[in-house]
């Protein structure tokens, strides 16, 4: 591996209720997620294409347990994370850190807990 390769190539957000979680993320990000089932797990995929962009999905299965602690993934909320943040509590999530400036160069971040109890982060340039 070197600097020309994405260090992250896929992410999975563990869920207890795939339908509830899918509804939450579709509402927050104004997206449509594709359902799938593989290896005994229910999944819903974030929009992606096969041109090297990192993506991921929601997964309900025996090895996936939601948690507010542990590793954080930062979802891209450009152009301004406040747009997504304002939807979180209206669709069942909880904001745990409001929009916070990191620096002029890096932008802004915020934390929330989704409907499944996962601690997730947002990032945007503005």
Task: Please indicate, yes or no, if residue 118 is contained in any of the structural domains.
Answer: yes
Asked if the model's pLDDT at residue 81 lies above 90, the reply is: yes
- Does residue 74 lie in a domain region? yes
Structural domain contains residue 1: no
In a domain, 16, yes or no: yes
pLDDT digits (tens, 9 = 90+) for 23-74: 999 999 999 999 999 999 999 999 988 787 889 999 999 999 999 998 899 9
| Any domain includes 5 | no
**Residue 4 belongs to a domain:** no
- Whether 19 has a pLDDT exceeding 90, the answer reads yes
Q: How many domains does the chain have?
A: 1
* CATH number for the domain that contains residue 58: 3.10.180.10
Range of the domain at 104: 10-124
Pairs from 91-99 (Cβ < 8 Å, separation ≥ 24): 91/23, 91/24, 91/27, 91/28, 91/115, 92/20, 92/24, 93/24, 93/28, 96/68
């Amino acid at each position: 591996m070197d600097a020309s390769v994405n260090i992250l190539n896929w992410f999975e957000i563990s869920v207890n209720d795939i339908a509830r979680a899918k509804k939450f993320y579709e509402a927050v990000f104004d997206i449509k997620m594709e359902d799938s089932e593989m290896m005994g797990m229910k999944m819903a995929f974030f929009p992606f294409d096969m041109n090297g962009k990192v993506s991921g999905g929601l997964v309900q299965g025996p090895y996936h347990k939601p948690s507010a602690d542990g590793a954080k993934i930062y979802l891209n909320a450009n152009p301004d994370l406040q747009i997504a943040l304002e939807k979180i509590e209206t669709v069942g999530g909880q904001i745990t850190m409001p929009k916070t400036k990191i620096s002029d160069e890096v932008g802004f971040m915020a934390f929330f807990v989704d409907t499944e109890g996962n601690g997730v982060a947002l990032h945007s340039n503005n």
